[in-house]
Amino acid sequence: MPTLSINFDPAVIAHLMKASGDDTVHVTLSLGSGDEPSSPKKVVPYGPLADLMKADLLKAGTVLTFHQRRANRWGRAVVTADGQLVVDGHATPFPSPSKAAEAVTGNVINGWTLWHVEGDGRTLDVLRRELESRTSK
Cα-Cα end-to-end distance for the chain: 60
d(CA 135, CA 54): 13
SS3 content of the chain, % helix, strand, coil (to 5): 30, 15, 55
User: Of 14, 21, 23, which is closest to residue 86 (Cα–Cα)?
Assistant: 23
Return per-residue pLDDT of the chain as tens, 137 residues.
666 666 666 566 666 666 776 776 666 666 666 555 556 667 888 999 999 999 999 999 999 999 988 989 999 999 999 999 999 888 889 999 999 999 999 999 999 999 999 999 999 999 999 999 988 86
The pair phi, psi for residue 38, each rounded to 5°, is -70, 140
User: Of 41, 42, 30, 40, which is closest to residue 4 (Cα–Cα)?
Assistant: 30
Q: Which residues contact 50 (CB under 8 A, 6 or more apart)?
A: 44, 83
97, 132 in Cβ contact below 8 A? Answer: no
